[in-house]
Amino acid sequence: MTGMEAAILSAVVSPIAKKVFELVSSLIAGKFHLHQGVEEDIRDLSSQLTAILAVLEHAEELQLDSPPIRDWLGKLKEVLFDAEDLLESFQTEALLWQRQQQARNVHPPFSASQLFMKLNVAQEIKKVLLRLEKIGREKQNFQLDAHAIDSGASSTRPSVSRNTGFIVAESDVVGRDDDKDRMINLLLSEESDRQGHVSVAPIIGMGGIGKTTLSQLVYNDDRVKSHFEFRMWVCVTDVFNYTKVLKDMIEYHTEIKYNDISSLSNVQLESRLLEFLKGKPYLLILDDVWPESFDWSDLQKLLKHGGKGSRVVVTSRSSHVANLMGTLPPHFLELLPEDQCQFLFEKIAFGPGGAKRTEETEEIGKDIVRKCKGLPLAIKVMASLLRGIDGARKWRNIQKHEIWEAEKHSDARKPQILPALSLSYNHLPAHLKRCFAYTCIYPKAYVFHKMDLIKVWKAASFILPRGQYSIEDIGEEYFDELLRRSFFQLSKVDNQETFRMHDLLHNLAESVSGPYCYQIKDNDPCNFYEKARHISLLCSAAEQPIMGIMEKSQKLRTLLSPSDHQKNFGQALDSIFQSLKYIRILDLSSSIMLELPESVGELKLLHYLDLSKTEIRRLPNSVCNLINLETLKLLSCLWLFELPKDLGKLTNLQHLELDDIFWYKLRTLPPGIGSITGLQNLHAFPVSREAGKGINELKGMLHLKGALHIKELENAANAGEANLKDKEDLVKVVFEWSNNRNGSPENAALDENIIEDLQPHPDIKEIQVIHYQGARFPAWIRDGQVKNLTSLTLNHCINCRVLSIGQLSRLQSLSLKGNLELEEWIDAPYHFLHRLKISNCPKLRDTPKIFLNLGAMKIKKCNSLKALPLIPSVMFLKLMHNLVLEDFNEHTPSFIKLLELKVIDCPKLPCLPEVFAPQKLEVSGCPLLTKLPTPEFSQRLQHLAIDACDDPTLVRAIPDTGSLYSLVISNISNLTSFPKWPHLPGLKTLYISRCNDLTSLSDETAASVPFEGMTSLELLSVRGCPNLVRFPDKELPATLKCLIISSNSGLTSLGPEEAFQNLTSLTDVNIENCPELHSLPAEGFSASLRHLLIEGCPELIKECQNVSGADCPKIQGIPDLEIEPLQVLASQNPQNPPAAWYHCLICCKGTRTIEDQA
């Protein structure tokens, strides 16, 4: 057996032994009043474990070179697993027994003897003891050194004693700048367009060479972000799933989640996706494609409907993918040059906090870099290992390790495992080896969040307690250490931080997990071992595999369902709950189920239950028997409206995960929820006067984190019992009273007392107060006792007249809404205030005089406010429906930092600021405004909207500027024509709407062409102009790509005969609701037109359907044609109507669909 194979088969036993030792110690220390014989067996068990633990560290080190020791450790592991199951089962039954005794008011001391007899525990302990004694005798055959016992989470071999953190970020990527630039140039080049085909750019390279890293660099580049309207990233992996790819693409640029689309067919998913992609330029990354399973045809048809310039980037190890998909030359990613490899290695290994650089370690490092053969992954893993090891001798041991030679003799039929990865794994502490190996039950390229994985590790008892540290904090240390050692990869896409494991490391995890972890895939014969303790279902048909599990692996501890396949367990769920009595982690997410069998309460050792993305209506109350449950996930359970009545019995529950919509709908919580003192997330607490539902339930819940929304506070008698002051992990608190109360003095006095008693911890960051009827805010706000508060919201506090918050020195965001009596705001310096919103405060006369650092302000419906404060740093300003506002503040020297200004319905505002150069300006309903920024201050103006003006003065004041990108002109009275359009060479989009008096977009007396200065115009929309008879009057810009003509009831002509012939860039035309329009232009459209929609134009539609008419030939060659009203093909299922884009296309050639054309 090679060194690599030995490393792979090595057993990790010490963490399990320590856990069992703790269980035995707990049993001895507990007041269980055991029979003498049983107590002696338990003490003998403790002695055996003590002796084994003393030599275990040495045995785990020697097993790499000693098959007998490795076999001995394997047998020991099996005994320890059984002992752990037995002792945890007894602990649980003992706790349930105690609860039953307390419920019956039975007070004599607890005796476990009867329970031992009932559960046959004494005999089982005897069996375990005999097996352990035999293993203890066998250890005498080995020369094992005894060490002091450490039952904590210490390393089983010398560990890193300092923070050796180095996490590779995009800015630290080495040697790929040229590759990145070449890929970006290829994607942005118009020469890469392929008429009628999807432009696909393959990146080809061996595993670990950095294909995904390069793709991320390209994807996150600012040039790429600005060029593509939509960007999507999909991990494909070795098993291609077309449905999952569609769902991932939909999720990427919408807020639609998997559960919202999980039941849709592929045709419906395609329909949803095309609503977003059609005609728009997109970038799609298909990461890690394997040609053996990849069917490109259906996806290719779909992607053809994107806009011009769309691109697909495919990463793969196989050049066959380039032949299969590539329309652009493949980019072959080469191994890193030796100098770049050395630079990357030294940056990590000798970087800040790393190993000490000496002449000898430098030379050793160069040799190790050569052994990594130019693979960035191998170099990062080795450098991450060596940065935590000081001394040339230890470095040399790694340099000379036999595992480097083992690669030459590896079996080509087995998954590739790099020597560098195996070496790094060998140097992991035992507790990290166990956590890493477990991750192999997730599919390759699985994207996970840190805390989700830590919760699973915790439920599996992989995280060993240490002192006063919380298990989550220790779990984060574990995770961060694996990340530092490059076993996990940080993945940042669109600023979303997730993690994944490289598939080469996934191969390693599969190998080192041995028989204990297994994945069941579709068409899998389920050849897992009886020793299997952790299984994941990556298949859609789950009932048959479950039967195999119950038959062969009744000691299962984990059943995960990490894929988004909808799984149907059929009638197997009840059998699972009856059979798998040692299971700790059960993931039934994305299962087809409406209810959970009552027998779920039999899973007494269950720590983690995930029912997310199911249509479950209610949880059986038997769930509350799961007294070991720590995590209950119910995300995206849209039909779940309440929690089981005895939820308070789950005293070990720490994570109750539900969507915001559930908490919003929640009317009441089960009684006694305050018994769950370790709960970390309770997003809403409706206060009731019923027993067990009062605010005092919050008293002992000191571990709450994140946000807490306390509702119906009028019921909060003795509000101080909520003990918010001691909840130091809360970040946000919302105090809300019901909004249907009368405004009596009694309510005002009661509210003041309640909020005074609800003082939160001084470190709270965000507070919201809603529907409060007190006449003043609490002293802890006025006096600044919440000293670290950064965000304050005061909504509908209807009786407060004075606002005094000057002591909140770190306040960054303030929102005031519906405070109807608020008159005075006490002046004070607000040095950190950056965002201010004031809405519907009709009596507020003044604000503080100056906000030096305010960056964003919105003032709405403040009808006593005549002037703005001094806001020299403001960048975003919205003024809406302020009837008496007269002044921007004459003392403000300039608004030169102002980027966006929106002024709506401010009838007394006479002018815009004198000095300001906005990027975005919107003006509506301000009759006194007659001027816009002069050309001098318009050179960064990108978007301009003018609306609801009684005369066209502002329209005529539009300045010449090359920066303007978008222009909106709407609802302008007395505008009949445009005598002279401004010079706008950068304008891309022009919207003209609801100009009732408009008869022409040009002036017949003007010599110039109407759009002559708009040399970049791509989209023109003319809507709701009833007096517009003819459009266009003259020539349109040749750059035009999309034209929308809608709801122009008087329109009779589409301009001159040749109006559209010269528009060689035009791809999309929409003509809607123009009832007087009878015909298309005499010479039809340019050959570039790809899509034509005609809807609500009865006469025109009639002409287009007339095969012998003049208009029918004009539209024959248009690929994507939609003519309404919609007619449904007989072949389509009437119970499954097509989506908006899936039209029956009526033209002179007959009826076609988009699929026919693809």
Residues 285 and 363 in one domain: no
Kindly state whether residue 1139 falls inside one of the protein's structural domains.
no
Specify the pLDDT at position 1109: 84
Total structural domains in the chain?
4
Residues 360 and 487 reside in one and the same domain: yes
- Indicate if 205 and 263 belong to the same structural domain: yes
Beta strands of 778-935 (E only): which ranges? 791-795, 802-803, 813-817, 824-825, 835-839, 856-860, 876-880, 900-904, 920-924
Q: What is the CATH number of the domain that holds 466?
A: 1.10.10.10
Residue 690 falls inside a structural domain: no
CATH assignment at residue 931: 3.80.10
Domain extent for 278:
176-332
CB-neighbour burial class of residue 490 (10 A; exposed 0-12, middle 13-18, buried 19+): middle
For the chain, the straight-line distance linking the first and the last C-alpha, in angstroms and rounded, comes to 55
Please choose, from the candidates 454, 105, 124, 494, the residue with its C-alpha nearest in 3D space to the C-alpha of residue 285.
Answer: 494
If asked whether residues 285 and 238 sit together in one domain, one would say yes
Last residue of a domain, one of 311, 332, 353: 332
Distance CA 733, CA 780 (A): 14
> Do the domain assignments include residue 464?
yes
Domain boundary among 1036, 1057, 1089: 1089
Cβ-count burial of 962 within 10 angstroms (0-12 exposed, 13-18 middle, 19+ buried)? middle
Residues 30 and 80 in one domain: yes
**373's torsion region: left (phi>0), alpha (psi -120 to 50) or beta?**
left
Regions of the chain short of the pLDDT cut 70 = 1-10, 31-36, 105-119, 147-172, 194-196, 238, 253-260, 262-263, 291-294, 326, 406-416, 493-495, 525-526, 528, 890-893, 1003-1009, 1125-1158
CB 720 within 8 A of CB 696: no
Same domain, 268 and 411: no
Whether residue 1064 sits in one domain with residue 944: yes
Q: Is residue 261 part of a domain?
A: yes
pLDDT value at residue 1013: 87
Please name the amino acid found at residue 607: H
Residues 6+ away with beta carbon under 8 Å from 369 = 338, 341, 342, 345, 379, 382
| Bridge partners (DSSP) listed for residue 856 | 835, 876
β-bridge pairing 1145-1147 and 1150-1152 = antiparallel
Q: Cβ(913)–Cβ(931) under 8 Å?
A: no
Q: Report if residue 596 sits inside a domain.
A: no
Q: Are residues 276 and 385 in the same domain?
A: no
Determine whether 664 is exposed, middle or buried from the number of CB atoms within 10 Å of its CB (0-12, 13-18, 19+): exposed
* Closest listed residue to residue 825, CA positions, set 779, 777, 789: 777
* CATH number, domain with residue 200: 3.40.50.300
Assess if residue 613 is contained within a domain: no
For residues 311 and 343, state if they share a domain. Answer: no
What's residue 1059's pLDDT? 82
Asked if residue 870 is part of any domain, the answer here is no
Cα separations in angstroms, 724 against 220, 257, 695, 776, 793: 42, 34, 11, 21, 18
Same domain, 1078 and 939: yes
Asked if residue 181 and residue 203 are part of one domain, the reply reads yes
324 and 433 both lie in a single domain:
no
Q: Which of 332, 359, 382 is the last residue of a domain?
A: 332
714 part of a folded domain:
no
Instruction: State how beta strands 331-332 and 200-204 pair.
Output: parallel
